[in-house]
Amino acid sequence: MAEVTIDSTLQEDRLFPPSTEFSQQAQIKSLTEYEQLYARAKADPQKFWAELAETELHWFQKWDTVLDWQPPFAQWFVNGKINIAHNCLDRHLTTWRRNKAALIWEGEPGDSRTFTYAQLHREVCQFANVLKQLGVQKGDVVGIYMPMIPEAAIAMLACARIGAPHTVVFGGFSAEALRDRLNDGKAKLVITADGGWRKDAIVPLKEQVDKALADAPTVKDVLVVQRTAQKIHMEAGRDHWWHDIRQGVSADCPAEPMDSEDMLFILYTSGSTGKPKGVVHTTAGYNLYSHVTTKWIFDLKDTDVYWCTADVGWITGHSYIVYGPLSNGATTLMYEGAPRSSNPGCFWDVIEKYGVNIFYTAPTAIRAFMRMGEHEPNARNLSSLRLLGTVGEPINPEAWMWYHRIIGGERCPIVDTWWQTETGGVMITPLPGAIATKPGSATLPFPGILAEVVDLEGNPVPENEGGYLAIKHPWPGMMRTVYGDPDRFRRTYWEHIPPHEGQFTYFAGDGARKDRDGYFWVMGRVDDVISVAGHRLGTMEIESALVSHPAVAEAAVVGKPDEIKGEEVVAFVTLDTSFSPSPELSAELKKHVVQEIGALARPGEIRFSEALPKTRSGKIMRRLLRSLAAGEEVTGDTSTLEDRSVLDKLREGA
């Protein structure tokens, strides 16, 4: 990270203000109201968050101190007593929401279940008592390795209710990845299922748990939910069927008063070193931040059916399927399946069936929908939608426009959200009734978030100049440490940019620029920046240029070492189904990039591929593509890779 700036080449001037009708009924109704909120939060962050904590959450005991900041370690609402499961469930039972749908679930084969707040509360309390019966105590770490079924959310809330930190491991991870996470967290118990449905196939979850537990000595018990009913091994004395063990167990389980800074969960992110990082989030600050961001960003109404398509194994599922929506008393929808060849339009079926109002998904999914064509969404009634969102990585302007036009019918604002596992909740985003949007821009920081684009000395860079995306002040949802490794926390997030004007700076690892309106344009990971002839180019901008060509469904751009230029641009391109690879098309795409951006960004090489290597959360693994482009051996953690055959095919075509 010796370079100071990143060259920005993408120009996007289209502006989409919210409709008057949307703004009039929104939580935050105007740019003026947003600016006043932002100014108030900036002037006195502690007062801003304290007022929200008091009005938005239920406390067993009020805090003594709002923020204790010993850089880089923060404590929020010191000595306060609270329970996130109580805020998600119990407090709604004394209101009309008691019999409101809390969780709607749709299984991939078409089965479905709905839980009211009263029913969900009962399920969570009974699950919590089963955990206690199996010896789980406050402070014990519980592993959760589940398909997208209601019991996944119920298990999380049950752990939170009794003060047992959970570590949810995505149900597509390998046995090795599961083992490493269980061992690092010293998990005492694992909650899983016999299997789950994904793309018309059964994912053999229990089989993977059995392999992982061959070398996970701290795990004493396994709780198994029956989902697919296929034959599985059950280890006598260790494994327990959920439907058997729950018989006769009481559904009376008061929520444990938790200290504000008690650990709520560990969530592991992949490290390029091969050792995953255990991101630690604590109770009160996370509860507040996920609650307020859900309420304002998704403009929640009591009548909304809200659907985030993420998996609960990711932070997006934690914050915006389970904790944020339920804390607000919303109706949150979970879907087990994924678009597949037998039903490419399943997402649109779910929206039509349940009258979904708010739809939050990933740019990768949107580009996949674009590749399938407009027929599937056009064949369904999507008129219930009033707000769209994106999460996971920067969205290309052309994908944004397709989403706006085809899914949103040109009437739904789009909240393009930037955040990370480490931040706990959304950091930069439009508030949909207040902020006009630009395709490809996450727009402005959430109130209370002091974001800046800086150089490596911590100085703000000029308008439209690329730099490093940094956060200048603590916020309640921030991670507290790396589990068991505070030095790694300090090194990874706080030492890249020195303290500036007495302020410690959180460095997010992303490059960005700010335009003349103060809008943020995230340019991708700084690891993914390409240095060409002394210029540093963000991969996202070159990828956007490629995707704007009608032949291209998806593109990933990396740098390859070059003796003369330093690096050469290599583009991995997936074509729209109506186009075929050819030398002529390759030349045309190179020319198109030159027209869109300039000769500097012209790819030296274009490799056509049926698919790109992605994590199971939909992010393109450019690190692997860099190794392939350079002819190097692929190293580091690949446990998050969704389909290893994609990597093998790319190797064969190299």
Joined tokens for residue 197: 């449905």
Cis peptide before 72 (omega within 30 of 0): yes
Rounded Cα distance between 287 and 310, Å, is 19
The reply to whether 612 and 505 lie within a common domain is no
CB burial of residue 650 (10 Å; 0-12, 13-18, 19+): buried
Q: What is the span of the domain harbouring residue 642?
A: 529-652
The reply to whether 477 and 569 lie within a common domain is no
Rounded Cα distance between 46 and 275, Å, is 35
Rounded Cα distance between 71 and 273, Å, is 25
Q: Is 537 domain-assigned?
A: yes
Q: Is 237 domain-assigned?
A: no
Joined tokens for residue 517: 């309106």
Residues 77/510, Cβ–Cβ less than 8 Å:
no
pLDDT digits (tens, 9 = 90+) for 580-593: 999 999 999 999 98
Residues 103/153, Cβ–Cβ less than 8 Å:
yes
Q: Is 448 domain-assigned?
A: no
The reply to whether 646 and 537 lie within a common domain is yes
CATH number at residue 565: 3.30.300.30
Task: Please give the pLDDT value at position 524.
Answer: 78
The reply to whether 510 and 619 lie within a common domain is no
The reply to whether 503 and 592 lie within a common domain is no
Task: Please give the pLDDT value at position 594.
Answer: 84
Residues 449/45, Cβ–Cβ less than 8 Å:
no
Task: Please give the pLDDT value at position 577.
Answer: 86
Distance of CA 66 to the CA centre of its chain: 27
Cα dihedral 118, 123, 125, 130, rounded to 10, equals 170
Helices then strands, each counted (H, E), the chain: 21, 30
The reply to whether 546 and 642 lie within a common domain is yes
Residue 56, SS3? helix
Task: Please give the pLDDT value at position 331.
Answer: 98
Q: Which of 482, 497, 518 is the last residue of a domain?
A: 518
Joined tokens for residue 264: 């709520």
Q: Which stretches in the chain have pLDDT values below 50?
A: 1-4, 272-273
Task: Please give the pLDDT value at position 499.
Answer: 82
Joined tokens for residue 651: 């190797």
The reply to whether 487 and 539 lie within a common domain is no
Q: Which of 477, 492, 518 is the last residue of a domain?
A: 518
The reply to whether 511 and 597 lie within a common domain is no
Joined tokens for residue 263: 């650990």
The reply to whether 613 and 648 lie within a common domain is yes
Report the candidate in 370, 372, 428 with the shortest Cα–Cα distance to residue 404: 370
Q: Are strands 520-525 and 506-514 parallel, antiparallel or unpaired?
A: antiparallel
Q: Is 114 domain-assigned?
A: no
Amino acid sitting at position 3:
E
The reply to whether 549 and 646 lie within a common domain is yes
The reply to whether 608 and 640 lie within a common domain is yes
Q: Is 551 domain-assigned?
A: yes
Q: Is 594 domain-assigned?
A: yes
Task: Please give the pLDDT value at position 291.
Answer: 98
Residues 440/12, Cβ–Cβ less than 8 Å:
yes
Q: Is 417 domain-assigned?
A: no
Q: Is 512 domain-assigned?
A: yes
Residue with tokens 């809390």: 102
Task: Please give the pLDDT value at position 647.
Answer: 80
Task: Please give the pLDDT value at position 176.
Answer: 86
> How many folded domains does the chain comprise?
2
**pTM beyond 0.85, yes or no:** yes
The reply to whether 498 and 535 lie within a common domain is no
